[in-house]
Amino acid sequence: MGRFGLIRAFGTAVMLFLATAAVAGNEVSRQQGVPGGTAEVAGTTLSIGELYRYQSLIGTTPEGYSWSSDSDTVLFLWNDQGYSFRDIWTYSVRTGEKTRLTFLGQDSVPHAERPGISQAVMLGDSRVAFTLGGKLHIREPDGSVSPIETEKQAVRGLAVSPDGKWLAFVSGSPVDTRNRVTLGGELWIRSTEDRRENSARRLVGSDDPKIYVQDYEWADDSGSIVFHHSDDREMPERDIYFYADGELQNNRVIRAFPGDETTRARIGLVSLASNEIRYFDRPDPKHHIWDYGLSGDGKRLFISGSDLEAKEHTIYLYDVGSGARETFYQLRDPRHLRPDWQVDWAPADDGLIILTDRDGWLHLYHQRNAGEPPHQITQGEWEIESFAVDGTTKSLYFTANKSHLADRQIYRVPAAGGEVERVSGSASGTHQPVYSPDFSRIADWYSSDTMPPELFVIDTDRPREATRVTRSPQPEFYDQTWADTRYVEFSSHVDGMKLVARLIVPANFDPTRRYPVIVGSVYSDAVRNQWGGRRSHPTWGLDQYLVGQGYLIISVNVRGSWGQGREHNQTQLHSYGGTDINDLESGVRYLIAQGHADPDRVGIWGSSYGGLMTIMSLAKKLGVYAAGIAGAPATNVWHAYPSQMWIMGPPEGDDMPARYEAQSPLYHAAGIEDPLMIIHGSRDPVVLYSDTIALAEGMIEREQMFELVTLPGAHHGWDLENLPQTRFSFRKMIDFFDRNVKNRK
C-alpha cells in the first residue's frame, strides 16, 4: 500500500499541450559555453522591497493536493490574489471548473502573514475536513464552517479510510497544551458522517508527549491502521536562551548530538474493531525507518530501514498474524552516503518494488521472495527520485532526471519491465505529482526556471498533455525582464569528475565581458530547473536583483548531491568542507577560463551546510573569493544532528577527533583573510547560535575582522520567517557584496 505525500498545487483551466511552443519556450540553454543574450537590459529593475512584498509578485504557490475518491475532483490550497493566507479550492476534471470553497482569509491582515489552511481532505457528500491553526474544522455543503474536536490542538495528518467511513488524524499531546518541548502525537479516528463536536476515538496515545505517533497509513480493508511510533525519552533536552521582545526567553528542545541517545522507533498495527495494538520490533530500535507498508490482503508487513550511518539497507518482512520476522533484503556498502531508498508492494502483493542505487544509480527493482536476487526494472546513467505503484495496470509511475540532471519529469514503466514512457510533456522543469486513487489523473505541481509553480492536471490516458488550473503571478510579473538561466558542464580540477552547474546570467549577457560572480547559495542538490532553483530559501528575488545589477550567479551540484550516481556522491564521505568546496572552486575556474568571470571579484554565500562551505572556502581557498556570507553556519560538526553521520562518520575511531575537526570551520577559521559576514538567528535549534559565538570569539582573539548580523529570536530558516526580516537580511547581503565584491578596489 503506497503512501503518496501531499505536494504543492495551482489553477485557471486552460488545455495546454506541454509540447507546444508556449511552454517549450521554457526550455533552457544546456549547451557547452555560454552564448550572449538578446535583451536590452540586464534584468529586473525592481527593488528588494518590490520583489518581496505582501502581495507576492510571483503569486502564492498552490499546495496540499488531495483527490476525491472518484478521481474527478482535486482539492488544493491557494490564494488567487497572491497573499499568504491559503483557502480551499477545488478543480473538477469533468466540468473544467475551479471553485473556491472557503473565504477565511478575506479578512486576514496582509502584514500578519498568516499561512492559512494547512491541510484539507474530502469526506464525501461535498463535505471537507481541514486544519487551521492546528485546529480541526468541517466545511459543510452549504459553505458553513464549524470547528470540531475543539479539545485537541496541533491536529495534523488527516487521512480518510479507503471505504470513506472514517477520518483519521494525529493531535498534539494534551499534557502540555503549549507543546513547548515536543509536539507529541496521538492517533484518532472519527466517523465521516458524525456531526458531533468531540466524537473522536483515540486509537494510539501516551500521557508522555515524548512517545508519539509520527505518521501512519490505512490498511486497504479500512479495518486497521499501521503507524510509526517514536520514543524520545532517552534523548537529551537542551536550553537555547535568547533575548527577543525585550526579555530573556528559552527555546527548550529535544536535540541529540552525534553519540547521544536518539529516537527509538517501531511500527505498530491497531485494529479499529478491538483497539488491539501489535508491535513489530526490529533488532535495533534506534536504527532509521525509511518506509513501511501492509500488503493488500493485510497479512504481511514490510519495514525498510538502515543503521544510523546509512551504510546497511535492510528490509524486514513480517507475518502479521504470528509476528514472525525474516530478512527480505539486505545490502551493505561501507561508503554509502544517501538514504534515498523507497519500498512498496508490487502489484497483487507479488513481492516488493525497491528503489536502490545498488548498481551505482537509483533505479527500480522487483524482488519476489526473501533472499533472492532482485530483478532490475530500470537502468541507465540517470536517477529516480520517487515512485508509486498502480496495481490495476501493473505499472510503476516515477519522477526522474532521465532528460537532464536539473529536471524531474514523470515517467511510467510496466512493473515486469519494458519501455519507459514519459508522461509529462517535453518542456524542461520540475514536476511533483499527486496521483488520483485510480491513477487515471495526476495533480501536477510544475515549475521551471522561467515559470513560478502552478497546478496542472494530467490525464494518464493522454500523456504529455496537461490542463493548467492556476495562474498565480501578479500582472506586473510579466512586465519584467528576468535573468536567463543556463546549465553548464565542466570537469573537476582535482579529480576530473564531471560536474554540472546552474548559471544565471543577465538577459543582455555579453560573453566577452568579465562579470562579478556570486557562488551560491551553495548547498547540496542545488541544481534544479524550477523557479528560484532551491526552494528551501526564498532567494529567487535576491538572485534576480543581483543579476539585474550585473552579477553572474552559479550553483554547482557538489559531491554528496542527488542525481549523478553513487560514484559522484560517495566521494563526499568524511569530507564536509573538502571535496564539496573543491567542486565550487571548479565552477569558478570554469567561468574564469570561459572569460566570463572577473577573478578578483568572486563572492560566495550559503546557509547552514552552505554556511559551512562558505567559511571553509574562505579559510582554505585563499585568493579564490573576495568575500563570503555565511547564514546560520554549521561551524562545529560535533553539534550536528546524528543523521549527519552519513557523511561525517561516527564520533569514535582511531581518526578522532581529527576527522570531526577537519570538517568543522571552527578549527579552520584562523586561515580567513577576506571579508566575512555571518547572519544567524539567536533562537536556532538546528545550528546553535552559541556555535557562531564560539567562532566569533576566536576571530576576535585573533583580531580577524568580520561582520555579525544577529536576528533576535529568529529560527534556522532566517529568511523565511517574515518579510521585514527577509528584506532586511537581503539588503544587508547586497550591501556587503557590493562593497567587497562588485566595487572591490
What pLDDT was estimated at residue 535? 84
> What does DSSP assign to residue 35?
P
Strands (DSSP E) contained in 85-180 are: 87-92, 98-100, 117-124, 127-132, 135-139, 145-148, 156-160, 166-171
In a domain, 172, yes or no: no
In a domain, 349, yes or no: no
Q: Which residue would you say has higher pLDDT here, 40 or 594?
A: 594
% of residues, the chain, pLDDT over 70: 95
Strands (DSSP E) contained in 333-408 are: 342-345, 352-356, 363-367, 375-376, 384-390, 395-400
What pLDDT was estimated at residue 40? 84
- Is the separation of the CB atoms in 243 and 684 below 8 Å? no
In a domain, 383, yes or no: no
> In which domain, by residue range, is 536 found?
476-742
- Is the separation of the CB atoms in 255 and 287 below 8 Å? no
In a domain, 434, yes or no: no
pLDDT tens, 645-681? 999 999 999 999 999 999 999 999 999 999 999 999 9
Q: What is the mean pLDDT of the chain?
A: 93
What is the C-alpha to C-alpha distance for residues 59 and 470, in angstroms, rounded to an integer? 10
In a domain, 644, yes or no: yes
pLDDT tens, 26-72? 333 444 468 887 778 889 999 999 999 999 999 999 999 999 999 99
Name the pLDDT band for 533 (thresholds 50, 70, 90). very high
In a domain, 488, yes or no: yes
What is the C-alpha to C-alpha distance for residues 570 and 336, in angstroms, rounded to an integer? 6
DSSP letters of 605-622?
Answer: EEETHHHHHHHHHHHHST
Check the CA dihedral 186-254-664-520 and report its sign. positive
pLDDT tens, 694-723? 999 999 999 999 999 999 999 999 999 999
Task: Say if residue 221's pLDDT is above 90.
Answer: yes
pLDDT tens, 158-184? 999 999 999 999 999 775 544 456 788
Task: Say if residue 20's pLDDT is above 60.
Answer: no
In a domain, 380, yes or no: no
Name, in order, each residue with C-beta under 8 angstroms of 145's C-beta and a sequence gap of 6 or more.
102, 104, 137, 138, 139
Number of domains in the chain: 1
What pLDDT was estimated at residue 175? 58
Give the pLDDT mean for 189-214.
Answer: 94
Check the CA dihedral 637-638-643-646 and report its sign. positive
Q: Which residue would you say has higher pLDDT here, 108 or 157?
A: 157
**Quick one: cell of 720?**
523565511
Domain CATH for 486:
3.40.50.1820
What is the C-alpha to C-alpha distance for residues 190 and 324, in angstroms, rounded to an integer? 32
- For 44-116, where are the alpha helices, taking DSSP H only? 48-51
Give the H/E segment covering residue 247. Answer: strand 247-250
In a domain, 21, yes or no: no
Task: Say if residue 447's pLDDT is above 70.
Answer: yes
With both helix axes pointing from N to C terminus, report the angle between 579-593 and 609-620 in degrees, rounded to the nearest 10.
70
pLDDT tens, 323-382? 999 999 999 999 999 999 999 999 999 999 999 999 999 999 999 999 999 999 999 999
